[in-house]
Amino acid sequence: MLEQHAWETQGDGVIVFPPEQPLALDSGGRIDGLELAYRTFGVLNADRSNAILICHALTLDQHVAGRHPTTGKSGWWSRLVGPGLPLDPARHFIICSNVVGGCMGSTGPSSINPATGTPWGLTFPVITIADMVRAQAMLVSALGIERLFAVVGGSMGGMQVLQWAADYPDRLFAAVCIAAAPRHSAQNIAFHEVGRQAIMADPDWRGGDYGVLGVRPEKGLAVARMAAHITYLSESALQRKFGRELQRDGLSWGFDADFQVESYLRHQGAAFVDRFDANSYLYITRAMDYFDLTTGPEGGLAAAFRGAKNVRFCVFSFTSDWLYPTVESRTIVRALNAAGARASFVEIETDRGHDAFLLDEPVLRDALAGFLEASALAWGRS
């Protein structure tokens, strides 16, 4: 059990929006009585100018720092969020909420549908990245914050950052988009489809109604995780970590996990099903597949950022990320420049693949710290 510090426990709760404040959805539907689970760290200052919203990735949650209540591990971004770190509760009021559609306390497919008294399952409406962001904006307003100092996120969190800039450009001063893309590519969609099909092929999925029937499609969800996890690493990182190392002396001449890499992936899959809901995985991967800021009604990614001229952007990519490769970040930066926004771009040299955004990357840490400090000064002057 990790030691708990006062800053880690400052805000931890679920906000329930009244029925007269439904979440309107891109699909045309809406969610009444939306619940969002969130955590905050630090204190909102008197002029409410130090709020930073962190947006989480596909399988992560609001426990960005501090201790995770389910796993007991430290928060997923504890390398960047904490005293003396770039996102510092001593200076910033840090907010992180579980996305709508998630399974860590926010309304999602495993929530109870009040009309039936049973979990929504596949009757839950399909949600989008913009829906997630709209829900976050409601939370931010409810916390009494008109304009965020910064919105920060990696991977799917980075997509939310871009969506924030597109939909609420006047409500953020700075934006940090890490290891993301302006739209899902065919390959991105393809990998997600493999994961979804693995879940749906599990007999315990039961058409999404496993929650009612008291079973869980653990095997399917584990396979989905295993396939996805490969995309978060790089060929050279896998080779360096595992090579062809065996679990035991000699081959089994069968289908046990002979190779360490097999054992590792099986462990990743098994650990994942303890903390994640299969239907949430379907809904959130769908939201990512639907994400595309490049084909707005007025065309082009630059048009999506037209309102964001006054936002200071910092875009990060990693050289070995083949899930959202550097070229995607370059496309974002080019569009930001075309829109007249103030964009910075850093490509970090690493062989650790997409997951580098969660790992100890000193260049990311230092550049993020420098960018946020300079942005805070600039906001103070403006």
Partner 1 sequence: MSVASSREDFKEIARLVRPGSRVLDVGCGEGELLELLASEKGVDGRGIEISPEGVSACLSHGLAVMQGDADRDLDFFPAGTFDYVILSQTLQAVQRPRHVLGELLRIGGQAIVTLPNFGHWRVRLDLLTQGRMPVTRALPEPWWATSNIHLCTMGDFTALCDDLDLNIDACAALSEGRPARPTDPRRRLENWRAEAALFVLSRRRNQPVNR
346 sits near partner 1 (criterion: CB under 8 A): yes
| Catalytic site includes residue 375 | no
Kindly determine how many residues on this chain lie close enough to bind partner 1 according to the rule CB under 8 A. Answer: 26
**In terms of CB distance, is 98 or 375 closer to partner 1?**
375
334 sits near partner 1 (criterion: CB under 8 A): yes
Least CB distance from residue 188 to partner 1, whole Å?
24
Contacts 24+ apart (CB under 8 A), 363-368: 364/80, 364/178, 364/316, 365/79, 365/80, 365/85, 365/86, 367/314, 367/316, 368/80, 368/86, 368/87, 368/152, 368/176, 368/314, 368/316
| Catalytic site includes residue 354 | yes
* Cα 4 to Cα 67, 71, 105, 304, distances in angstroms: 7, 15, 22, 42
| Catalytic site includes residue 192 | no
Least CB distance from residue 343 to partner 1, whole Å?
6
Least CB distance from residue 374 to partner 1, whole Å?
3
**What b/e string do you get for 26-60 counting C-beta neighbours within 10 Å, with b at 16 or more?**
eeeeebeebbbbbbbbbebeeeebbbbbbbbbbbb
Least CB distance from residue 240 to partner 1, whole Å?
21
Candidate residues 12, 167, 347, 351; the one interacting with partner 1 per rule CB under 8 A: 347
246 sits near partner 1 (criterion: CB under 8 A): no
Candidate residues 312, 325, 353, 355; the one interacting with partner 1 per rule CB under 8 A: 312
Candidate residues 94, 96, 261, 348; the one interacting with partner 1 per rule CB under 8 A: 348
**In terms of CB distance, is 13 or 370 closer to partner 1?**
370
Six-digit token string for 145: 């914050």
Q: For the segment 39-68, give every residue that binds partner 1 (CB under 8 A).
A: none
Candidate residues 114, 345, 352, 360; the one interacting with partner 1 per rule CB under 8 A: 345
SS3 270: helix
Catalytically annotated residue among 88, 131, 321, 355: 321
Candidate residues 41, 93, 173, 371; the one interacting with partner 1 per rule CB under 8 A: 371
Cα 52 from Cα 143, distance rounded (Å): 12
Are 133 and 163 in contact by the 8 Å Cβ rule? The answer is yes
Candidate residues 7, 349, 353, 357; the one interacting with partner 1 per rule CB under 8 A: 349
| Residue the block writes with tokens 């903390």 | 275
CB atoms within 10 A of CB 3: 6
85 sits near partner 1 (criterion: CB under 8 A): no
Candidate residues 333, 355, 357, 358; the one interacting with partner 1 per rule CB under 8 A: 333
Q: Which residues contact 269 (CB under 8 A, 6 or more apart)?
A: 221, 222, 223, 225, 226, 229
Q: Which residue numbers are catalytic?
A: 155, 321, 354
